Amino acid sequence: MKILTMIPARMGSNRIKKKNLRILGDIPLIEHIIRSAKDSYYTSEIFINSESTEFQKIAQKCGVKFYKRPEKFASDEATNDDFTMDFLEKHDCDILLQLLPTSPFITSKDIDQFMSKMIDHKYETMISVNHIQIEAIYNGQPINFEQIKQTPPSQSLEPIKAYACGIMAWNSKRFKMNINQFGAAYHGGEGSIGFYELKGFSNVDIDNEEDFLLAEAVLNAQNSNTNKPRYYESEKEKIEDADREKILLADGVEKNFFDEQNKQIQHIEKIIEKRGTNASWSHTLINSPSNCATLIAQMPGEGNRMHYHHDWDEWWYIVKGQWEWTVEGVIKKVKEGDIVFIERNKKHKIKAIGSVMSIRLAVSREDVDHVYDIHDY
């Protein structure tokens, strides 16, 4: 069975200029679907179908083929049926798979499952859809609910199948037959038709500027390591404290030295030798309006309490030993020579581990609030 993959991409776009070449993330929009296609089991031969040779350069860069469609099939009046039939007249295949570049979050898994369903069930047309469970009306009449009855929970409503369009596929013979008989084949005409449900972000389809902004937000969220849900908490459940000595004492650091700060030159090893390695201590090196740097030495098992800072990014340099560092529930181990950076509003704590004293250089500012949940304070 010969399967060809076609990615249609014309240069003209009324709503977003050069939409398919606009950068999403760090690559042109069209490259997202090309990458998914190349990772699919079913897509050994991939074509970009366009009137513009700009896309020929993209094809060469990405290692796929290019088909230059006639200009008449690149106008606003040209239909999907028009340029698809033109392509099939020039390329022999059993199945033509179409992937839209405006659906950048379709995955290779989506493509494989879509094609497997089409082949296994011998469908002649396969359409990707979005299942929507909400009350729907057509021509003023309810489709999946009754107006004289109470509204059921949305999850019990009959889903409406809305075209997703990001993935389509046709048996080439059936497509040509439908074109010859009806002048249209996109929707399946006469022949067996199957539907594949796209889920989640795979349904994102970029038609206008707002859609592009949404796609950028989705991409940023996918690339972020901070997707843990956050919830409103009453301010009464929070305690804010900026008293450094009080905070250090509560963290178990009983000896705190603030009287040798802001010297032009200080030697960390000499300070450690002076303060010792048998009991916890802190020694403030710098305390200025812009920053505060404090050596904090603690024994194994000691550390600080879970907290965060509203408006300050904090960092530590690990001077000696090993620490277990927890940020937003993720635990990492750091050792001598490592630098730890904590963004504002990220809950974090640190604990000395190993068999000897561990020492860190904490860089913050004297007036920065430490915000604690009441049960951590």
Q: What is the pLDDT of residues 95-114, one digit of tens each?
A: 999 999 999 999 999 999 99
Q: Do 127 and 158 belong to one domain?
A: yes
Q: How far is CA 100 from the centre of its chain?
A: 20
Q: Do 199 and 345 belong to one domain?
A: no
- pTM (global) more than 0.85: no
Q: H/E element holding 87?
A: helix 80-90
Give per-residue pLDDT as tens, 219-274: 988 887 656 677 776 655 788 999 999 999 999 999 999 999 999 999 999 999 99
Q: Do 218 and 252 belong to one domain?
A: no
Q: Do 263 and 188 belong to one domain?
A: no
Give per-residue pLDDT as tens, 209-219: 999 999 999 99
User: Among 324, 298, 323, 304, which residue's Cα sits nearest to residue 364?
Assistant: 304
Residue 302 pLDDT grade (very low, low, confident, very high; cuts 50, 70, 90): very high
Residue 203 pLDDT grade (very low, low, confident, very high; cuts 50, 70, 90): very high
CATH number, position 189: 3.90.550.10
Q: Do 260 and 174 belong to one domain?
A: no
Q: Do 276 and 329 belong to one domain?
A: yes
pLDDT of amino acid 156: 81
Give per-residue pLDDT as tens, 23-50: 999 999 999 999 999 999 999 999 999 9
pLDDT of amino acid 234: 64
Q: Do 145 and 15 belong to one domain?
A: yes
- Spatial separation of the C-alpha atoms in residues 287 and 41, rounded to whole Å: 61
Q: Is the pLDDT of residue 143 over 90?
A: no
- Spatial separation of the C-alpha atoms in residues 111 and 202, rounded to whole Å: 11
Is 265 strand, coil or helix? Answer: coil
User: Among 76, 80, 87, which residue's Cα sits nearest to residue 48?
Assistant: 87
Q: Do 187 and 336 belong to one domain?
A: no
pLDDT of amino acid 298: 96
Share of the chain above pLDDT 70, in %: 98
pLDDT of amino acid 225: 60
Average pLDDT over residues 156-185: 93
pLDDT of amino acid 11: 87
pLDDT of amino acid 157: 82
- Spatial separation of the C-alpha atoms in residues 233 and 238, rounded to whole Å: 8
Domain that holds residue 192: 3-222
CATH number, position 308: 2.60.120.10
Query: What is the count of structural domains for the chain?
Result: 2
Q: Do 23 and 142 belong to one domain?
A: yes
Q: Point out the domain boundary residue: 222, 251, 274.
A: 222
Q: Is the pLDDT of residue 15 over 80?
A: no
- Spatial separation of the C-alpha atoms in residues 123 and 120, rounded to whole Å: 8
The answer to whether residue 339 sits within a structural domain is: yes
Give per-residue pLDDT as tens, 333-358: 999 999 999 999 999 999 999 999 99
Q: Is the pLDDT of residue 327 over 90?
A: yes
pLDDT of amino acid 351: 96
Residue scoring higher pLDDT (117 or 290)? 117
Q: Point out the domain boundary residue: 157, 191, 222.
A: 222
pLDDT of amino acid 347: 93
Average pLDDT over residues 88-98: 97
Q: Do 200 and 153 belong to one domain?
A: yes
The answer to whether residue 227 sits within a structural domain is: no
Average pLDDT over residues 183-200: 94
Q: Is the pLDDT of residue 144 over 90?
A: no
Packing angle, helices 29-38 and 108-121, rounded to 10: 50
Share of the chain above pLDDT 90, in %: 76
The chain-wide mean pLDDT, for the chain, equals 92
How many other CB atoms sit within 10 Å of the CB of residue 176?
A: 15
pLDDT of amino acid 235: 59
The answer to whether residue 128 sits within a structural domain is: yes
Q: Do 64 and 199 belong to one domain?
A: yes
The answer to whether residue 232 sits within a structural domain is: no
Q: Do 81 and 120 belong to one domain?
A: yes
Q: How far is CA 69 from the centre of its chain?
A: 34
